[in-house]
């Protein structure tokens, strides 16, 4: 019993050290956002600020236009999650649950998209968006983000749907349901854990994406958080406190999602791992 208790204490201490190491960068970023440039470059890099400069957040929102960037990122991410989730679930249902000759080749075409790096598609997408008059609009980000989210989403949802008994659909059809009622009333509620997994992956990849956002958006009013915060760095001088505040604002949604939905996040990731 003594050996077991000593082992438990050792494991708890090790986990506590790991937790501190993982949380420290976030704490440092919050403290960084509340300091002045003189204090940041004056040697007080890790310690508490001598004076908490909450006005750095006001400067980030007003002068740095972080509020506009945050709204643009929220719109792009929300539309991408909804569009990719709906399109992927309908595609996976057609591939897995319907009988037609080209279902397997179509699935392979979707999965082959997982092997295409975004850098290879950068120039062709730029030309296409220019010709379609979509350059410098939020659609220039939403459409590519949705397209690149579909392969993984179709893969996760198709493997999840394979485990659903066909008797559920047959019973619904006998009761008079059409194909759309079966899909939205029976299939969608069952695949909610897989949809949660897809939404989490899509959120992380879309919210933090930089390459497309830099290339396809140059207008200030359409920039997302990643590009907007990067543009706050001046050519000759930079006020680092508001930039730190902008980084905290950009990180806050991810932290809040995990705090409020930690249980669902773990369930969805486990479901995706098991089914996938």
SS3 for the chain is: CHHHHHHHHHHHHHHHHHHHHHHHHHHHHHHHCCCCHHHHCCCCCCCCCCCCCCHHHHHHHHCCCHHHHHHHHHHHHHHHHHHHHHHHHHHHHHHHHCCCCCHHHHHHHHHHHHHCCHHHHHHHHHHHHHHCCCCCCCHHHHHHHHHHHHHHHHHHHHHHHCCCCHHHHHHHHHCCCCHHHHHHHHHHHHCHHHHHHHHHHHHHHHHCCCHHHHHHCCCHHHCCHHHHHHHCCCCCCCCHHHHHHHHHHHHHHHHHHHHHCHHHHHHHHHHHHHHC
Q: What is the pLDDT of residue 268?
A: 56
What pLDDT was estimated at residue 274? 47
- pLDDT at position 9, please? 80
Q: What is the pLDDT of residue 232?
A: 81
- Predicted confidence at residue 90, as pLDDT, reads 93
Q: In angstroms, rounded to a whole number, what is the distance separating the alpha carbons of residues 64 and 120?
A: 32
Q: What is the pLDDT along the chain (276 residues), one digit of tens a residue?
A: 555 677 778 888 898 899 888 888 889 889 888 888 888 787 777 778 888 888 889 888 887 788 899 999 999 999 999 999 999 999 999 998 888 888 889 989 988 888 888 888 899 999 999 999 999 999 999 999 999 999 999 998 998 888 888 888 888 888 888 888 888 988 898 888 888 888 888 998 899 898 999 999 988 889 999 888 888 876 556 788 888 888 999 988 888 877 776 666 566 555 545 444
pLDDT at 266: 65
Q: Please, which residues have CB within 8 angstroms of residue 81's CB and are 6 or more apart in sequence? A: 199, 202, 203, 206
């Amino acid at each position: 019993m003594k050996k077991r208790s000593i082992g438990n204490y050792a494991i708890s201490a090790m986990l506590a050290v790991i937790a501190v190491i993982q949380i420290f960068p976030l704490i440092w970023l919050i403290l960084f956002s509340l300091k002045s440039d003189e204090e940041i470059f004056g040697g007080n890099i890790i310690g508490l600020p001598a004076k908490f400069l909450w006005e750095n957040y006001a400067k980030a929102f007003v002068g740095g236009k972080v509020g506009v960037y945050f709204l643009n990122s929220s719109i792009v991410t929300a539309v991408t999650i909804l569009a990719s989730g709906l399109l992927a679930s309908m595609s996976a249902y057609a591939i897995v649950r319907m009988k037609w000759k080209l279902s397997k080749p179509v699935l392979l075409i979707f999965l082959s998209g997982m092997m295409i790096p975004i850098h290879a598609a950068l120039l062709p997408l730029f030309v296409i968006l220019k010709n379609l008059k979509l350059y410098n609009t939020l659609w220039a980000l939403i459409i590519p983000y949705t397209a690149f989210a579909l392969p993984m989403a179709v893969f996760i949802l198709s493997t999840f749907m394979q485990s659903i008994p066909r008797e559920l659909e047959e019973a619904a059809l006998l009761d008079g349901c059409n194909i759309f009622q079966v899909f939205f009333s029976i299939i969608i509620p069952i695949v909610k854990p897989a949809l949660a997994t897809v939404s989490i992956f899509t959120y992380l990849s879309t919210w933090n994406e930089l390459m497309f956002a830099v290339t396809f958006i140059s207008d200030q009013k359409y920039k997302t958080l990643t590009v907007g915060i990067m543009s706050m760095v001046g050519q000759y001088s930079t006020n680092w406190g508001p930039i730190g505040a902008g980084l905290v604002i950009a990180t806050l949604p991810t932290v809040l999602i995990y705090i409020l939905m930690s249980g669902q996040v773990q369930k969805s990731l486990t479901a995706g791992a098991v089914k996938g």
